[in-house]
C-alpha cells in the first residue's frame, strides 16, 4: 500500500470518522451497501473531476481497489485467521 506521509493524513480523519460513525449505526448488510456506494462515488467523482480516461479508471480498478483489498486481507483478516489457528488448530 502506498502510505501517505503522517502530516497528510489528518486532513481526512474527520471525514473518515464521520463516515465510520454513520456506517456503524447500520446493520452489517446495510453497511456493506453503503460502503460500496461511498467508495464508488469517490472514484466516480474523482474521475469526473480529473477527466475520464480508460487508463485512469483502470488504475483505480486494477490498482487502487485491488491493492486495497489485498492490504485489508494482509493487515486485518490475515492476523485474525492466525489467531483462530492458534486457538482452534490448523486445518
Give the whole-angstrom CA distance, residue 60 versus residue 52: 12
Q: Give 3's pLDDT tier (boundaries 50, 70, 90).
A: confident
Q: What percent of the chain has pLDDT over 70?
A: 98
**pTM given for the model:** 0.83
Handedness of CA 27, 29, 35, 40 (dihedral sign): negative
Q: What pLDDT score does 91 carry?
A: 87
**What percent of the chain stands above pLDDT 90?**
93
Per-residue pLDDT of 55-74, as tens digits, reads 999 999 999 999 999 999 99
14-18 average pLDDT score: 97
Tens digit of each residue's pLDDT (9 = 90 or more) over 23-42: 999 999 999 999 999 999 99
Task: Report the alpha-carbon distance of residue 22 to residue 10 in Å, rounded.
Answer: 19
Q: Which long-range contacts (CB under 8 A, 24 or more apart) does 64-71 make?
A: 65/39, 67/1, 67/2, 68/1, 71/1
Amino acid at each position: 500500500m502506498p502510505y501517505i506521509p503522517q502530516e497528510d493524513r489528518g486532513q481526512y480523519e474527520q471525514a473518515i470518522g464521520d463516515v465510520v460513525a454513520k456506517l456503524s449505526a447500520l446493520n452489517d448488510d446495510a453497511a456493506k451497501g453503503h460502503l460500496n456506494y461511498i467508495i464508488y462515488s469517490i472514484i466516480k467523482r474523482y474521475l469526473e473531476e480529473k477527466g475520464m480516461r480508460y487508463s485512469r479508471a483502470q488504475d483505480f480498478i486494477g490498482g487502487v481497489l485491488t491493492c486495497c483489498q489485498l492490504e485489508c486481507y494482509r493487515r486485518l483478516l490475515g492476523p485474525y485467521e492466525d489467531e483462530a489457528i492458534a486457538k482452534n488448530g490448523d486445518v
